[in-house]
Structure 1
Amino acid sequence: MKKHRTATTRAGKAARALLATLTALALLAAGLVGLVLWQHSYDLREEAVTIRHGGRTLEGVLALPPNGRGPHPLVVFVHGDGPVDATHDTFYRPIWESLARAGYASLSWNKPGVGGAPGDWLAQSMDDRAAEAADAIAWARGRPDVDGDRIGLWGASQAGWVLPKIAARDTGIRFAIAVSPAIDWHRQGRYNLLAELRRDGASDTETAAALRRRDTVRELLDRSAPYDAYVRAVGRSHAMTAARWRFVSRNHNADATPALPALRGTPVLLVLAGRDLNVDTAETEAVYRRLLPGPGLRVAHYPGAAHSLVAYDVENSPLRLTLTALFAPRALFAEGFLADQRDFLAGLDTGAAAR
């Protein structure tokens, strides 16, 4: 009987210990879920909008400061490459929040074909993208909560070819924030190829072969070769999709320099990453300084940042990237990146008030 009671007591203790462990794990899980929800709660008023203008329909988000009816000055977001939705998979929200703290609203929309939006972003030229943004800006000027006289642009990477075209179309653009913008499509592509080969430790033979393939692709693009000729030339294992080939064929002569002077005299914040494998930031800075002389251009460098302006060490560690995105999304970006944009916009308002 004594042994039976001892076994029963041990079983009871084990059950209580298991229950305590499960309770602790449940509380920990609930705490982690709460932390994630809290970290992804932004000081914004987001409104889903449908932009209809110029025969276009764009599905977007208007992110407003949490207080006040406006009218608010507006930052219009122009995406980089790829199938980007209005929030860039929530990546934009910490930026919107920072801009809202300076009193600015933000407007962004799904690329055509993304998130159920009509169209196909791979069928667009850079001129198409500029026209699309111009239509969105015209729509925004009709909103009572938007100050139509204080609208500017925010654009990353491929948007470097779009922002100047928008400014050339719309002389009412009051400022621009250009994040890791490229200058010339082919020079940017060659820089990116070599940077990634160096990162991956490619041999001289591998590098030479990659450059030969690149030269072949350039020759095919210059003579508007069809997709099947491209696949035969480079091999299917190295080939992009047919839709991507058409996109590249449509845009491979993109060059920011002809339209960039349209931003002359406009306050511009040029944001450059110190560890950018996609864009030759030295070339970008030199061209911007040459074509946008004067005090209107401000250049901000982030030595530890990747092309996305996420801290390079975070972006290149899948575990750190995932954990940071979940538990501290505002900390994804390079130190100072969010605050510097907010300060840039606050400075515009201070300058306007001084005048």
Structure 2
Amino acid sequence: MRATPPILAAFVVLVFSLSVIWSTTPSLALTQLTFILFSLLVTIIISQTSISTLRSLALPAYVIAILSLIFTYILGQVTRGSVRWIEIGPFHLQTSETAKSLIILSFAYFLTQPILRPWRWLFTRILLLLPIALLVLLQPDLGSTIIISFIWFGMMLVSSLPRRYLLALLLTGLIALPLGYQLLEPYQQRRLTSFVNPYADPSGSGYNVIQSQIAIGSGRIIGKGVRQGTQSHLRFLPERHTDFAFASFAEEFGLVGTTILLACLTLILLWLTKQIDNPDLFASLIAAGAFWQFFSQTIVNVGMNLGLMPVTGITLPLFSYGGSSLLSFAITFGLVIATSKKTG
């Protein structure tokens, strides 16, 4: 397995991430570097685990994901009306992020079980997904719920379940979308509708998208330079180092910088795609889950920054500030590397 291109691509993304954080919120740059080094250690440790050991850890991973989400819902910190973080010493862990990597491991095991009765098999897999999806949605965290659903469905595509059952499930989901919209909180509905015309409420639900578009557009070809961005440094751009870090980067590095960044993210995705082609179904499912986690978060975050997708609070993989997101992808990449080996 040639790992050099994706490793170099990930290194470039992380360097760009540190440059944006140092530029917009310099006090957090050292913290992010610490997160990166710790996440690298986690990836190395998990990558040395055998496939047989990972299979044995699949059920505990599922239980840990559910318990951590329940614990967060009961005792977590309320921030901006949401309960998404728990305190672990001086750090804050967003359990919906780590749940993404844990369900990749657990569902890779669940989806390798023999299919004797397809409808019953599919129904039980839906029942296994529901507790995690509902607990994340109750935080409330609609964005992570959508990503978890993408991961699950992407892994189902690689499973041995006949495609007609998945097609029936997909059509059912599409039919149920209007009902799902009615069940959303009012602010979530405004987010979904404001991306169609953010200027309908420029100082409210459309503010974030408008400021992001201004920042990206003002970067032009080569950008304004490090620490020269006006939208981010004058704090017109909200969440300039987390949800809208891409816009901050585009303002300072321009089209040239964003092209390099997106090319690096694409290289990582291509590497993950190659890992799906594995004769071991368990390994193939883990690679599929990793691909959909990385792909869906990239598309949603970049689309959100460009005003092409609703604002959902999804981070850009390996780029946005935050230890929980880095830890999640560290676990995921460790799983992919471990299962790509011809061991276990």
TM-score where L is the length of structure 1: 0.27
Higher fraction of helix: 2
Q: Which has the larger radius of gyration?
A: 1
TM-score where L is the length of structure 2: 0.28
Pick 1 or 2: higher relative contact order, CA cutoff 8 A, min separation 6.
Answer: 2
